[in-house]
């Protein structure tokens, strides 16, 4: 029996089953099916237009995740159309009307029952204390109106319904799932949800399409969230990209914000990690990289966090950790500094272990410390071995001797002449020669200077291009936005607040 020999009502049921992902291809299989699917196609297009990119920014309520659950309870197929979800409502208090005009579903007992029944029917909640979850959702929702807080229980409830979501921006209170006793019960819930996604045989598994985690807090000295709160999502089989801002993973400092990997047998398939305005030491980074073996792109900017967390920073150890765990994989690498209150303990000294590296962007600052192999240290625990000559900026290694032959593009950001003309001179003094006899793949070398072009002669002398960032502008973007990768990060996924420095 051919497809068109089936009764029309059977064809209608098949069309309904193909929504949303298979409708278009099935409808185009023949003219008769296309004409039969006209109504469904129109509805499909409307649902995709309205729901493929979804947020919880209700006109009258900030962070109204419950309203998204309400809409899904009215038409459950909506959950399959959500591909991009932002739960970070960044509006100021005065940008929200706070005036509810017309129907309010929270006052409708039947509507609230439908939301509760929606969650009860989800596979995940069959294993949960459903009444307790519902009560927590209601309590957070009520508190949100008074305290302007995000709804963490509603967030997990929503995530458990979304099989086709590809990227998510969590609410800015999400870090409390690891640091707040009231939200700590959510940790096993998220881990169970991820395990279900990875192991279920169901066609529509929650989070089974999630590829990208987006930033959910802003940059700033006073802002820090434990990277640990994102760790469960890193174990999803579908995950590929992590973009984060103001995350902290410090094992060896006083801040008590470590990073741990509970199941060492479960590795992450992440291929890209970009961490802006973060505060991570080599030990915290090692735990992350030991469990993300597929990384090919890694970009990081360092920021000392409040009360002097990582007041001194050790880029030398940081780079060694990168080389130990992904030196043979990395194709693109960026290491820059947003804000460092103390000193560089040990500086960058070689990229030779990154034998596939094609693109490198670095600030001059991370080179401004003695190499690890010298045995010397700067900072609050400074040390010089007996009989050694104290390290100085003129001892910075030559960039031409630090780079692997695979390198194609080099960008170096400088505050020239700070910290010293000697630092930039040391880095570039042999790049021109090495590009002829060793770095034959190097096609682009850039010195990028903040606001002024006083390094032009040095660039010309060494055969590199000088780019001036925010030249002579009255209200320039902050120095922290000079790295090209930071600006690309902000243009692609947002999350970095670009304000003028005082």
pLDDT tens, position by position, 402-421: 999 999 999 999 998 887 78
What distance in Å separates the CA atoms of residue 418 and residue 2, rounded to the nearest whole number?
A: 77
- Say how far apart CA 185 and CA 171 lie, in whole Å: 17
Q: Would you place residue 399 in the very low, low, confident or very high pLDDT band (cuts 50, 70, 90)?
A: very high
DSSP character for 164? S
Contact 294, 238 (CB under 8 A): no
Burial of 267 (C-beta count, 10 Å sphere; 0-12/13-18/19+): middle
Query: 290: exposed, middle or buried (C-beta count within 10 Å: 0-12, 13-18, 19+)?
Result: middle
CATH of domain 216-502: 3.80.10
Residue 40 has pLDDT above 60, yes or no: yes
Angle at 441 between CA 450 and CA 415, to 5 degrees: 10
pLDDT band at residue 501 under the 50/70/90 scheme: very low
User: Which pLDDT tens digit goes with each residue over 181-192?
Assistant: 656 678 888 888
Q: How far apart are CA 224 and CA 303, in angstroms?
A: 10
pTM of the predicted protein model: 0.90
246 with 225: CB under 8 angstroms? yes
Q: Which residue has the tokens 């008769």?
A: 32
Task: Describe the crossing of helices 152-159 and 130-147 by its angle, rounded to 10 degrees.
Answer: 130
**Per-residue CA distances from 66 to 72, 116, 428 (Å):** 10, 11, 56
CA distance 24 to 35: 12
Asked if 190 and 184 touch (Cβ cutoff 8 Å), the reply is no
Question: What tokens appear for 490 in the block?
Answer: 């902000």
Total residue length of the chain: 502
Dig out the tokens for 139 from the structure.
């309590």
Number of C-beta neighbours around residue 175 at 10 A? 25
Q: List the chain domain ranges.
A: 3-51, 56-90+100-210, 216-502
Query: Does residue 277 contact residue 224 with C-beta atoms inside 8 Å?
Result: no
The 10s digit of each residue's pLDDT in 193-249 is 899 899 877 777 899 999 999 999 999 999 889 999 999 999 999 999 999 999 999
| Confidence band of 398 (pLDDT split at 50, 70, 90) | very high
Answer whether 63's CB lies under 8 Å from 89's CB. yes
Number of H helices, E strands in the chain: 19, 14
Torsion sign (Cα): 359, 362, 366, 368:
positive
pLDDT of residue 500: 39
Q: What is the mean pLDDT of the chain?
A: 88
Residue pair 70/119 in contact (Cβ under 8 Å)? The answer is no
Residues 290-329: pLDDT tens digits?
Answer: 999 999 999 999 999 988 899 999 999 999 999 999 999 9
Joined together, the tokens standing for residue 390 give 């104290």
Joined together, the tokens standing for residue 288 give 């992350």
Residue 12 has pLDDT above 70, yes or no: no
- Who contacts 425 (Cβ-Cβ below 8 Å, separation ≥6)? 458
Torsion of CA 162, 164, 165, 166, to 10 degrees: 160
């Amino acid at each position: 029996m051919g497809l068109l020999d089936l009764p029309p009502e059977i064809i209608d049921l098949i069309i309904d089953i193909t929504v949303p992902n298979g409708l278009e291809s099935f409808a185009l299989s023949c003219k008769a099916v296309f004409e039969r699917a006209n109504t469904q196609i129109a509805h499909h297009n409307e649902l995709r237009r309205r729901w493929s990119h979804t947020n919880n920014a209700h006109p009258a309520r900030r962070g109204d995740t419950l309203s998204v659950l309400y809409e899904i309870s009215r038409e459950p197929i909506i959950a399959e159309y959500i591909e991009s979800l932002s739960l970070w409502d960044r509006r100021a208090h005065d940008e929200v009307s706070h005036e509810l005009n017309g129907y309010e579903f929270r006052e409708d007992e039947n509507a609230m029952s439908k939301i509760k029944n929606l969650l009860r029917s989800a596979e995940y909640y069959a294993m949960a204390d459903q009444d307790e979850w519902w009560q927590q959702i209601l309590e957070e929702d009520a508190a949100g109106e008074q305290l302007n807080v995000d709804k963490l229980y509603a967030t997990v409830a929503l995530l458990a319904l979304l099989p086709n979501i590809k990227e998510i921006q969590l609410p800015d209170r999400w870090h409390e799932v690891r640091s707040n006793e009231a939200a700590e019960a959510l940790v096993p819930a998220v881990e169970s949800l991820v395990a279900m996604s990875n192991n279920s045989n169901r066609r529509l598994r929650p989070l089974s399409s999630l590829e990208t985690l987006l930033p959910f807090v802003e940059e700033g000295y006073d802002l820090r969230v434990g990277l640990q709160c994102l760790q469960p999502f890193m174990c999803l089989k579908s995950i590929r990209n992590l973009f984060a801002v103001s995350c902290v993973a410090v094992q060896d400092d006083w801040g008590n914000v470590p990073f741990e990997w509970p199941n060492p047998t479960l590795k992450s398939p992440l291929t890209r990690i970009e961490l802006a305005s973060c505060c991570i030491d080599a030990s915290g980074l090692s735990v992350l990289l030991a469990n993300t073996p597929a990384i090919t792109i890694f970009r990081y900017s360092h920021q000392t966090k409040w009360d002097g967390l990582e007041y001194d920073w050790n880029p030398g150890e940081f780079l060694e950790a990168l080389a130990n765990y992904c030196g043979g994989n990395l194709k693109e690498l960026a290491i820059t500094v947003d804000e460092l209150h103390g000193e560089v303990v040990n500086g960058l000294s070689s990229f030779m272990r990154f034998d596939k590296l094609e693109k490198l962007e670095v600030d001059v600052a991370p080179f401004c410390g003695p190499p690890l192999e010298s045995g010397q240290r700067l900072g609050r625990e400074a040390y010089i071995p007996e009989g050694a000559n104290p390290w100085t900026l003129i001892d910075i290694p030559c960039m031409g001797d630090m780079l692997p032959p695979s390198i194609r593009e080099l960008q170096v950001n400088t505050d020239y002449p700070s910290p010293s003309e000697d630092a930039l001179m040391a880095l570039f003094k042999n790049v021109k020669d090495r590009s002829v006899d060793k770095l034959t793949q190097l096609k682009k070398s850039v010195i990028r200077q903040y606001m002024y072009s006083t390094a032009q002669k040095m660039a010309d002398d060494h055969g590199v291009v000088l780019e001036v960032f925010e030249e002579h502008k009255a209200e320039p973007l902050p120095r922290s936005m000079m790295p090209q990768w930071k600006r690309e990060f902000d243009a692609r996924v947002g999350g970095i607040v670009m304000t003028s420095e005082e």
